[in-house]
Structure 1
Amino acid sequence: MEYRLNKQGDPISILGYGCMRFTGRGSSIDVDKAESEIMEAYRSGVNYYDTAYIYPGSEATLGEILHRNGIREKVQIATKLPQYLVNAPGALDKYFNEELRRLQTDYVDYYLMHHLTAKSQWDKLVRLGVEDWIAKKKADGSIRHIGFSYHGNTEDFIAILDAYDWDFCQIQYNYVDEHSQAGRAGLMHAAEKHIPVVIMEPLRGGKLVNLLPAKAKEAIAAYDKGFTPAELGLRWLWNQPEVTCVLSGMNSIEMVRENCRIASDAHAGSFTEDDFALIEAVKTAISETELVGCTGCRYCMPCPKGVDIPALFRCYNMTTLESKSAARFEYAQTVGLKADKGFATQCVNCGKCESHCPQSIPIRQKIKEADRVLRPFPYKVGIQIARKFMLRK
């Protein structure tokens, strides 16, 4: 197992165990199966285990397994405050103490503000006294490192990153999302501040394995290094020294062993020109299935009325790579939950975007088309409700 260092110089395995996707058994988690998988990962050198308050049964399962096998002190637990449920200072201790009970521990190694999508959410926590609360928890040792997980645009990510002295952060990042959400720009900004970055959705929940276009799968299968689609995606991430740890929701012994094998010899800077060429071939094959030929260059931005054009087109294209439901959820959380709305219905047909588009995309026509697909009536209502709940001050 390869390791990279946190802000204090302590080792973190480059492969982390994502505990959101434990195998179910009836209405609960198959604890015995999860235990065999976690212990296999532990024996292979994985020392970072990520869970969250809202993952049903996950914290309790992880706590039970670590306690039963006597390895709590030998691993790093990462879990998350459900900040979207916090509306009074007392809620901070309420949720944190419940998490400690579930995890059967008196401290959390890596604690995150969960699912920030806008700077305003962090500002609300600050008004509730979260900075003093964190300071007290770090002083008494019940929180060792503080961070946040993020789904939003690059600008808000950088604003949050600059707003506090974070120990680490967690972002969605893969070769398809290279320039969306926090993106490469956010990754590099964190690196400049010497903030370790944990990666979630490295394979988009398996979509970059199972739902790749046939042409992409053929290109990978023909490559002489014998990479699998999963291996290609993981090695692309670990090639970047700015990436500290990559989470994988492993739910089979075979997956654990395969990912640990890859993580045993994945080094920063090891990608060759041929490796990068394969990535580009795969991305090209994916782009050929897209509905809009948007490259995410952002020459169309800023829109005078605040429409987030690149995010809209990225999610619209997701409907062919993944599914409409996945694309709609992505759009709801990355655009719908921004403090300043960026919907296509704000367009006033000024045409400024089209005059700057290198791809000559009929943007005004396409954003209306995309909006109809991504925000049917039930989603419009759902987004409005979610905005009132998640962005309340």
Structure 2
Amino acid sequence: MEYRYLPNSSCRVSTIGIGAGSLRESGPEEIRKIINSGMEHGINLIDTVMSDTSAAEPIAQALKGRRDEMIMQIHLGAVYPHETYSRTRSLSELQRGFEGELKKYGTDYADIGLIHYVDEVSDFEEILSGGIFDYALKLKDEGVIRHLGFSSHSAEVSRLFIETGEIDVFMFSLNAAYDFEPSEGKLILAKERAELYRACEKRGVGITVMKPYCGGQLLNAKTSPLYHRMSIPQCIRYALDSPVVISCLPGVRSLKDLEDVLGYYSASEEECDYSFIGSLPHRDINGICIYCGHCQPCPAGIDIASLNKYLDLAKSGDELARDHYMKLDKNAEDCTGCGVCEKNCPFHVDILERIQEACELFPPVTIGKP
């Protein structure tokens, strides 16, 4: 295992962490095994945002008596009414939610406290003026949060946070598909992102990486915005080659996923090389679903991220996708067309159009009729 220090700190962080968002795809016993196995291999970082709370108790059980061995990223503003993910900007709801998260994991502090999912300048301004930022600073002063940050997909908003001078680390969506843009027939690092990374170096702010595989899109040539498959070691190496990146947190669904990502440390230099990117075409990621779950909660109870994932898998030829889709508690037929999901989506996906596509691709089975 390799480690990097949080800026201006003696805190050593494993360069690979565990993103808990997909752990719910395993049962409680396997979740405990994933956490224990990760820690045995030296992983000491976990991000706790998830689409529902089903994985929380097994995580807490795995960490019982070992809490000090794990650096926990806990988000301020990710709340779970009815055990399902939602985002809030109500200060009182945020406070109750954060206190509930600490209690859920049997701890009285967060190693890293992140103001959750801030992608709009107006949202940033509301956080600074509405008491949320002051509350986060108070928690840090009291030691309830050891390192303060935020999570975002926006380079612009990230720079605004960094310029406050109060940020230690933040969680950012970083991969080759997001970083590069076409220019005169070549791919170049987007100016806005280059400026953000320079600002991080100047201010001594670190990044923990979400979406290193672009929601799995980069691992499949058919879905990759680069029109070319990248391997897991290539995706991990790309993220860790940035001097401001502390750790990479891919979503882990199973022990196999954990083994795959830990394989990075035994991969050869050739297996990690991603220099081919410079000669590739590119398509804009905007409008492409990466199954991040920020579209939730759906008033109709649809797991929109899973619906989109099974839709894409079916379109790419996965014969099992329909079966997985049909096992969802709610599916496209239950959509009311309210559009709440599209307002929440950070990538401006036309979700209602995709739901209609799912209705057509997965027509309901009518039992007992010819």
Please tell me the TM-score bracket, short chain as reference. Answer: 0.5 to 0.7
Are the structure 2 counterparts of residues 86 and 53 from structure 1 closer, same or farther at C-alpha, using a change threshold of 3 Å? Answer: farther
Are the structure 2 counterparts of residues 184 and 21 from structure 1 closer, same or farther at C-alpha, using a change threshold of 3 Å? Answer: farther
Are the structure 2 counterparts of residues 181 and 157 from structure 1 closer, same or farther at C-alpha, using a change threshold of 3 Å? Answer: farther
In the alignment, the residues of structure 2 paired with residue 330 and residue 255 of structure 1 have an alpha-carbon distance, to the nearest angstrom, of 19
Tell me the residue number matched to 2:220. 210
Q: So what's the TM-score if we normalise by structure 2? A: 0.67
Tell me the residue number matched to 2:304. none
Tell me the residue number matched to 1:156. 157
Tell me the residue number matched to 1:50. 47
- 1:105 to partner: Cα distance: 0.9
Gap runs ≥5 in structure 2 = 79-86, 181-189, 297-336, 347-370
User: CA contact under 8 A between 2:215 and 2:292: conserved in structure 1?
Assistant: no
Is 1:35 aligned to residue 36 of structure 2? no
Tell me the residue number matched to 1:178. 179
- 1:199 to partner: Cα distance: 0.6
User: CA contact under 8 A between 1:171 and 1:182: conserved in structure 2?
Assistant: no
Is 1:21 aligned to residue 22 of structure 2? yes
From 71, 85, 89, the equivalent of 1:76 is: 71
- 1:251 to partner: Cα distance: 2.3
Q: So what's the TM-score if we normalise by structure 1? A: 0.64
The amino acid across from 2:198 in the alignment is M
Tell me the residue number matched to 2:278. 280
The amino acid across from 1:241 in the alignment is P
Tell me the residue number matched to 2:310. none
- 1:49 to partner: Cα distance: 0.6
- 1:63 to partner: Cα distance: 1.7
The amino acid across from 1:258 in the alignment is D
For the aligned residue pairs, the C-alpha RMSD in angstroms reads: 3.6
In the alignment, the residues of structure 1 paired with residue 13 and residue 278 of structure 2 have an alpha-carbon distance, to the nearest angstrom, of 30
Tell me the residue number matched to 2:246. 244
Tell me the residue number matched to 1:65. 62
In the alignment, the residues of structure 1 paired with residue 208 and residue 344 of structure 2 have an alpha-carbon distance, to the nearest angstrom, of 30
User: CA contact under 8 A between 2:161 and 2:167: conserved in structure 1?
Assistant: no
- 1:247 to partner: Cα distance: 0.5
In the alignment, the residues of structure 1 paired with residue 237 and residue 197 of structure 2 have an alpha-carbon distance, to the nearest angstrom, of 17
Are the structure 2 counterparts of residues 140 and 201 from structure 1 closer, same or farther at C-alpha, using a change threshold of 3 Å? Answer: same
The amino acid across from 1:192 in the alignment is K
| 1:273-306 deviations in Å (ceiling 9; x for gaps) | x93432335x33xx3xx5xxxxxxxxxxxxxxxx
Are the structure 2 counterparts of residues 54 and 382 from structure 1 closer, same or farther at C-alpha, using a change threshold of 3 Å? Answer: closer
User: CA contact under 8 A between 1:50 and 1:78: conserved in structure 2?
Assistant: yes
The amino acid across from 2:21 in the alignment is M
In the alignment, the residues of structure 1 paired with residue 265 and residue 146 of structure 2 have an alpha-carbon distance, to the nearest angstrom, of 25
Q: What percentage of residue pairs aligned between the two structures are identical?
A: 21
- 1:329 to partner: Cα distance: 8.8
| 1:66-118 deviations in Å (ceiling 9; x for gaps) | 11xx211111111111264132x433421111111111111111111111012
Tell me the residue number matched to 2:167. 166
- Count of residue pairs brought into register by the alignment: 288
Are the structure 2 counterparts of residues 381 and 168 from structure 1 closer, same or farther at C-alpha, using a change threshold of 3 Å? Answer: closer
Gap runs ≥5 in structure 1 = 221-227, 291-312, 319-325, 334-377, 388-393
The amino acid across from 2:114 in the alignment is L
In the alignment, the residues of structure 2 paired with residue 108 and residue 74 of structure 1 have an alpha-carbon distance, to the nearest angstrom, of 13
Q: How does 1:373-384 map to 2 (within 5 A)?
A: 383=342
In the alignment, the residues of structure 2 paired with residue 134 and residue 56 of structure 1 have an alpha-carbon distance, to the nearest angstrom, of 23
User: CA contact under 8 A between 2:15 and 2:248: conserved in structure 1?
Assistant: yes
Are the structure 2 counterparts of residues 31 and 278 from structure 1 closer, same or farther at C-alpha, using a change threshold of 3 Å? Answer: same
Larger Rg: 1
User: CA contact under 8 A between 2:59 and 2:105: conserved in structure 1?
Assistant: yes
Q: How does 1:197-236 map to 2 (within 5 A)?
A: 197-212=207-222, 229-236=231-238
Tell me the residue number matched to 1:85. 88
In the alignment, the residues of structure 2 paired with residue 239 and residue 104 of structure 1 have an alpha-carbon distance, to the nearest angstrom, of 35
